[in-house]
Amino acid sequence: MALPVEFLKRMEALLGEEFPIFVQAMEQGRSYGLRRNPLKQGGERLELDAQFGLRPIPWAEHGFYYDPDTRPGRHPYYEAGLYYIQEPSAMAVGALAAPEPGMRVLDLCAAPGGKTTHLAGYLQGKGILVANEIHPARAKILAQSVERAGIPNCLVTNETPQRLAERFAGYFDCIVVDAPCSGEGMFRKDEIAVTEWTPDAPQKCAERQAEILDCAAAMLRSGGKIVYSTCTFAPEEDEGSVQDFLDRHPAFFIAEVPEQTYFAPGRPDWIANGSAELVKACRLFPHKLEGEGHFAAVLVHGGQTDEAAEPKRAKGLDGKEIPIEYRTFETETLTCRFPYLVRGGDQLWALPEEMPDVSGLRVLRQGLQLGTVKKGRFEPSHALALALGAADAKRVLHLTAEQSIPYLCGQALACEGENGWTLVLVDGISLGWGKVSGGMLKNHYPKGLRWNG
């Protein structure tokens, strides 16, 4: 891979004597990472170290390097949402955000979903998580990631930051802005990033980042934090964007991050008029750690915000409005209950208790999709299956990883036991639905997700 000449000239001027080892690192192979999903009930007891050659990633509690030859993305555990395949350096962002259960959290530029699923693990199903992506096709991929991870308290939107800022002024406790950038940190991971790079890309990206950050600031409560990150080395997009933001928003300051020997400090000397405070930001360089290039800064709102009108709460169904078809399914199939339900057409959703009213916004997912109300029956969704634990269903079918492959391919399976909807488990982790009748399990794994036999 030939790196852009103008990029190399700039990095040589910035890095000085470090430049040769930086280039050497950029010419080496990339590292591979996965992050275990703490939302998956029972998943903590499964030992994956030997199977995938796992080694801990120092800056991410649930993150591990894996051996790419083991192909964990082509395993039933991946389909069950037991882990998410994520670049190791990118895991630093969720670790820096580390929201507490019950918080209101926004992932403003969320696709494909790595940071959203990371944030969800910290929230443990409590609070509100809004994951937004402005590009429709990428928003669909984001929604699929949320579904696979079994996240019950996530709202997936396909909106501009400006539209969200109009609705959620002063609403969030924590906002992650993994900003669109020139992608220089991903050069050895993604050849398209190399071919699409131009010398003026960093400045153009910095202008877009300013708009996004200003919207994020408008949506943050006093005392809340924005975790700003990029996957680029360009000072204009990193220290430059942060300094410009601080100049525009004097109520904010950069927070100290936990000491991490793998991270380099921010470089105020790489931009004009860079304040000493920028050293509190952190840079991840491929010649200093096993991972790609990244930048992050934690921006805290230290001032007072104007009293914002609390968004209306979404109106749930009262007992009489809940479809009898769902009540029958719930009684026959589940041992758990979802107290706050809404209906959109023939779709039934379970919402977090404090879910705001999102009418008028482009919404792909609102909480947990329970399923479809049909004439005389209720058909549970794949999302519901992935959000349940083994103890949440009255009928379960236990499969090993090897035994689950025919199920993933869409085959019917022999299954003794009571007729009805049955939760299929792979080594104790929910994988999907089947429906037992006459000793056979009819396969309800989604056709679009099925493996080729």
User: What is the per-residue pLDDT across 99-144, written as a single tens digit (0 to 9) for each?
Assistant: 999 999 999 999 999 999 999 999 999 999 999 999 999 999 999 9
- Return the percentage of the chain with pLDDT > 70, whole number: 98
pLDDT of residue 319: 79
Catalytic residue among 154, 231, 282, 415: 231
- 63-81 residue pLDDT tens: 999 999 999 999 999 999 9
Smallest CA-to-CA distance from 52 within 30, 28, 27, 35 is with 35
User: What's the pLDDT tens digit per position in 213-263?
Assistant: 999 999 999 999 999 999 999 999 999 999 999 999 999 999 998 877 899
The two tokens of residue 285 are 């360089």
Known catalytic residue at 205: no
Average pLDDT, the chain: 95
pLDDT > 90: what percent of the chain? Answer: 90
From the list 237, 238, 217, the residue with the least C-alpha distance to 226 is 217
Picking from 19, 9, 4, 11, the residue whose alpha carbon sits closest to that of residue 233 is 11
Q: What is the spatial distance between Cα 222 and Cα 249, in angstroms, rounded to a whole number?
A: 13
Terminal Cα-to-Cα distance of the chain (whole angstroms): 36
Element (H, E) at 107: strand 104-107
Cα-based angle 147, 151, 154 (whole degrees, multiple of 5): 95
Q: Which element (helix H / strand E) includes 408?
A: helix 401-408
Query: Alpha-carbon distance 318 to 267, whole Å?
Result: 56
Which helix H or strand E contains 436, and what residues bound it? Answer: strand 429-437
Q: How many CB atoms lie within 10 A of CB 75?
A: 19
What pLDDT, on the 0 to 100 scale, is given for residue 306? 65
The amino acid present at 312, given as its one-letter code, is K
Q: Are 290 and 90 in contact (CB under 8 A)?
A: no
CA 193 to centroid of chain Cα atoms: 21
Q: Which residue has the tokens 């693990």?
A: 121
CA distance 272 to 281: 16
How far is residue 94's CA from residue 433's CA, in Å, rounded to a whole number? Answer: 31
Handedness of CA 22, 23, 24, 27 (dihedral sign): positive
What is the secondary structure of 336-388 as a DSSP string?
Answer: S----EEEETTEEEE--TTPBP-TTS-EEEESEEEEEEETTEEEE-HHHHHH-
CA distance 195 to 202: 15
Model pLDDT for residues 289-326, shown as the tens digit of each residue? 999 999 999 999 998 766 666 777 888 888 789 999 99
313 three-class SS: strand
Convert 425-441 to b/e letters by CB count within 10 Å (16 or more is b).
bbbbbbbbbbbbeeeeb
